[in-house]
Every structure is written in structure tokens, then in C-alpha cells.
């Protein structure tokens, strides 16, 4: 086992995770629970994680809820079942804690669509603008950002900025266009997008709406404008979940990553949830990055306390200011 562990640790960078066989007879729920207690670790999971991971998490939430939890937890170790930028955000908010991510290759197409060196040049062309970045960015991008936002608080963040102040919004062009429409602010937009939310098929959604005439169509603001125009409700993952709980409809067509359907079904077992189909052969839309995390990788990373998120001190010090500002504005708005 020691030799196997040494090899796995050596190959961590190549694989992104500890590549060690896990005894299939182990009850991973029980083992993970034990490790949480032994190590005073908290397990935070995003709604797009596979169902089993959601079921064992101490807290399940959207990007805002997860960062609020990472800022206030008293645990010694934060285990982040989500993607890389989320774990980095947790590390920036709790720099003295150990932050673990089961698979370091769990990235984000949206964060990748905005490399910090390119953005720096773009920002130089707009010296009077302040930068609002969606939290789906690298830690380095956060050092170039004045205020972060998530889909839950984006409208409040934009509206908190004085009217005459020009704004750059990065990196999601779809959320950016939605915010321009919603707030009436004319922002300079970076041209990035999420691979999961930009491939919903208008045609297949129209057909589903005809097949389920009583269903409400709900969508995440990372979707393209022509999809959002059809929606009865647009909101963050938490916003969508709450809408399905509180609305009287019993059928919903859901245009976001399919992982959220697990919580929707748990919270409203008598209602029907239909994932909106993408423009390919699949019936629902999974984020390949989010789904890199598995129960086995989660167990191994908690047992051996690796892979760990490590960031340069200057990045933490400079970048965290944009996250702190977001959390302050959100708290004032009661979010
Ligand atoms: P929220 O969880 O903030 O709605 O963001 C969705 C998303 O795409 C996360 O990667
Ligand atoms: Fe990134 Fe989109 Fe996956 Fe969220 S769903 S992690 S924005 S690629």
C-alpha cells in the first residue's frame, strides 16, 4: 500500500487525483463519515455533483452559498466537491485551512475562457472601468477583479455600483447580456461561455414544451438569450430549486446542469422534472468537470489529505478583496 501510495502521489500532477484501487467491499458512506469526524473536516458540495456525493455532503449549495460556508466554517479541513475555481475561492477565504479537491482536473470551461494574461491586456484598454467578474474565474483573475459576483447576487452587485461608473463584466457573455437587459447598464462584456449552458437545443425544448403544455420552463442565466427568452423563470441553481418548491406547477423543464434535479426531486417528490436536452445525442446535460469527482476519489483525498489547493500568498491577499466585497454586498442585500 505504501509503495502504491508513493506512486500515486508522484503521479498526482499527471492524473489530477490519487489513482489507487479502492476495496469494492468498503462502505464509502460510512468511511467518509468516519474521516469527517476524525479530521474535523467539512464536506461542501455543489448541486451539480453526482447524487451520492450530494447525499453525503455537510452542505450543498450554489456558488454563493458555498463561498459563504467556506468563509465561516470552523472545521480544520474543507473538502470541496466541486470544481477548481470553487476550491480556490474557499482557500482564499480560509487561507489557514487545508482545502482539498478530489480531482485537480475538475476545471471549468467558463474560467478557462478568460485567461488572466489576456484579460489584463483587455482591462488596460478600459482604464476607467471597474471589473465585475463572475466567481467562475481563476484565482489570478480575481486579482484583476474589483468585485466578484455569482448568478444569485449579480443584479445586486451591478446595482450597487454608481450609475455613471463604467463596468467591464467577465467572463460569461450570456450572463453579461442578461444583466445588461435586467439592470439597464451598458457594460463592456468579455466573450466567454459555459460549455454546459450554451448547448441547449431550442428546437428540442420547443418540442418538450408542446409535449408538456402545463410544464414551467426554467433556466440558468448562463444559457443563451434565445433560451432565456422562452423561460417562465430565470435564476441561479438555488433560485431554480426554490422556484420548483414554491411554484404550484407540478411539471418543470429545467435548463441547467442535470445534477440539480436530484435536489429538486428530493424536495418535491410528487413533481416531475425534465432535463432540457442539449444539441447532441444526449438526453440531459452533465458538466464533464463537475462529474470528474467520484465517491472513490473523495474517500482517497480525505484519507490521504491530498490533492490540496495551494496558492501564492500575493494571489490570496490581492484576490480575496474582490470576494470579500461580494460577500459584504450580498450580506447587506440579505442574500
Ligand atoms: P451557481 O451555482 O452559482 O448557480 O452557478 C452555476 C455554475 O455553473 C457553477 O459552475
Ligand atoms: Fe464551469 Fe459550466 Fe461546469 Fe459550471 S457547469 S463548472 S460554469 S463548465
Mean pLDDT of 313-321: 97
pLDDT of residue 280: 86
What three-state secondary structure class fits 222? Answer: coil
Report whether pLDDT(324) > 60. Answer: yes
Mean pLDDT, the chain, integer: 96
Determine whether the shortest distance from the Cβ of 109 to ligand 1 is under 6 A: no
Report whether pLDDT(330) > 90. Answer: yes
Report whether pLDDT(117) > 80. Answer: yes
pLDDT of residue 2: 67
Looking at CATH, the fold of the domain delimited by 110-194+316-332 is given as Rossmann fold (3.40.50)
Report whether pLDDT(305) > 80. Answer: yes
Rounded to whole angstroms, the Cα distance separating 309 from 80 reads: 10
Question: Which residue is listed with cell 490533492?
Answer: 307
- Could you tell me what percent of the chain has a pLDDT over 90? 96
- Ligand 2: which residue has its CA nearest to atom 2? 194
Report whether pLDDT(1) > 60. Answer: no
Query: In the β-sheet with 233-234, what is the strand arrangement from edge to edge?
Result: 233-234, 216-219, 251-255, 272-275
Would you tell me how many other CB atoms lie within 10 Å of the CB of residue 217? 21
Superfamily of domain 202-275: NadA-like (3.40.50.10800)
Mean pLDDT of 260-267: 97
Domain 2-106+290-311: assigned CATH number:
3.40.50.10800
What residue spans define the domains of the chain?
Answer: 2-106+290-311, 110-194+316-332, 202-275
pLDDT of residue 282: 84
Per-residue pLDDT tens digits for 272-292: 999 999 998 887 889 999 999
Q: Decide whether 2-106+290-311 matches 110-194+316-332 in CATH topology.
A: yes
pLDDT of residue 281: 84
pLDDT of residue 283: 79
Determine whether the shortest distance from the Cβ of 63 to ligand 1 is under 6 A: yes
Mean pLDDT of 145-154: 96
Nearest-CA neighbor of 32 among 17, 47, 46, 43?
Answer: 43
Rounded to whole angstroms, the Cα distance separating 77 from 234 reads: 34
| Band of residue 134 on the pLDDT scale cut at 50, 70, 90 | very high
Q: Which of 289, 291, 292 to mutate to test the pocket of ligand 2 (most atoms within 8 A of CB)?
A: 289
pLDDT of residue 3: 86
Joined together, the cell numbers standing for residue 150 give: 455569482
Determine whether the shortest distance from the Cβ of 219 to ligand 2 is under 6 A: no
Residue 307 preceded by cis peptide, ω within 30: yes
Per-residue pLDDT tens digits for 32-71: 999 999 999 999 999 999 999 999 999 999 998 999 999 9
Mean pLDDT of 152-162: 96
Determine whether the shortest distance from the Cβ of 62 to ligand 1 is under 6 A: yes
Distance 20 CA to ligand 1 centre (A): 30
Distance 300 CA to ligand 2 centre (A): 24
Contact between residue 222 and residue 197 where contact means Cβ atoms under 8 Å apart: yes
Question: Following DSSP, what letter does each residue of 168-212 receive, concatenated?
Answer: EEESBHHHHHHHHHHH----EE--B--TTTT-B-HHHHHHHHHHS
Distance 171 CA to ligand 2 centre (A): 12
Q: What is the DSSP letter of 23?
A: -
Mean pLDDT of 132-140: 96
Amino acid at each position: 500500500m505504501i509503495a502504491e501510495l508513493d506512486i500515486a502521489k508522484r503521479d498526482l500532477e499527471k492524473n489530477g487525483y490519487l489513482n489507487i484501487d479502492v476495496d469494492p467491499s468498503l462502505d464509502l458512506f460510512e468511511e467518509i463519515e468516519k474521516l469527517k469526524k476524525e479530521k474535523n473536516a467539512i464536506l461542501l458540495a455543489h448541486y451539480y455533483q453526482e447524487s451520492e456525493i450530494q447525499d453525503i455532503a455537510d452542505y450543498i449549495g450554489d456558488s454563493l452559498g458555498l463561498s459563504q460556508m467556506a468563509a465561516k466554517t470552523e472545521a480544520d479541513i474543507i473538502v470541496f466537491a466541486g470544481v477548481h475555481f470553487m476550491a480556490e475561492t474557499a482557500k482564499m477565504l480560509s487561507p489557514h485551512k487545508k482545502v482539498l479537491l478530489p480531482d485537480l482536473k475538475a476545471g471549468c470551461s467558463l474560467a478557462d475562457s478568460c485567461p488572466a494574461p489576456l484579460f489584463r491586456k483587455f482591462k488596460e484598454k478600459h482604464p476607467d472601468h471597474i471589473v465585475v467578474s463572475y466567481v467562475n474565474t481563476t484565482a489570478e483573475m480575481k486579482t484583476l477583479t474589483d468585485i466578484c459576483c455569482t448568478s444569485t447576487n449579480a443584479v445586486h452587485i451591478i446595482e450597487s455600483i454608481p450609475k455613471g461608473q463604467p463596468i467591464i463584466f467577465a467572463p460569461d457573455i450570456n450572463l453579461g447580456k442578461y444583466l445588461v437587459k435586467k439592470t439597464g447598464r451598458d457594460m463592456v462584456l468579455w466573450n466567454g461561455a459555459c460549455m454546459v449552458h450554451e448547448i441547449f437545443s431550442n428546437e428540442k425544448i420547443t418540442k418538450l414544451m408542446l409535449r408538456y403544455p402545463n410544464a414551467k420552463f426554467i433556466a440558468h442565466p448562463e444559457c443563451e438569450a434565445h433560451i432565456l427568452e422562452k423561460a417562465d423563470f430565470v435564476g441561479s441553481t438555488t433560485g431554480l430549486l426554490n422556484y420548483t418548491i414554491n411554484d404550484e406547477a407540478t411539471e418543470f423543464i429545467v435548463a441547467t446542469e442535470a445534477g440539480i434535479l436530484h435536489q429538486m426531486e428530493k424536495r418535491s417528490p410528487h413533481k416531475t422534472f425534465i432535463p432540457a436536452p442539449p444539441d447532441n445525442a444526449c438526453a440531459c446535460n452533465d458538466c464533464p468537470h463537475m462529474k470528474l469527482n467520484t465517491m472513490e476519489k473523495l474517500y482517497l483525498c480525505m484519507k490521504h489529505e491530498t490533492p490540496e489547493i495551494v496558492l501564492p500568498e500575493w494571489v490570496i491577499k490581492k484576490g480575496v478583496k474582490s470576494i470579500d466585497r461580494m460577500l459584504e454586498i450580498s450580506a447587506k442585500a440579505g442574500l
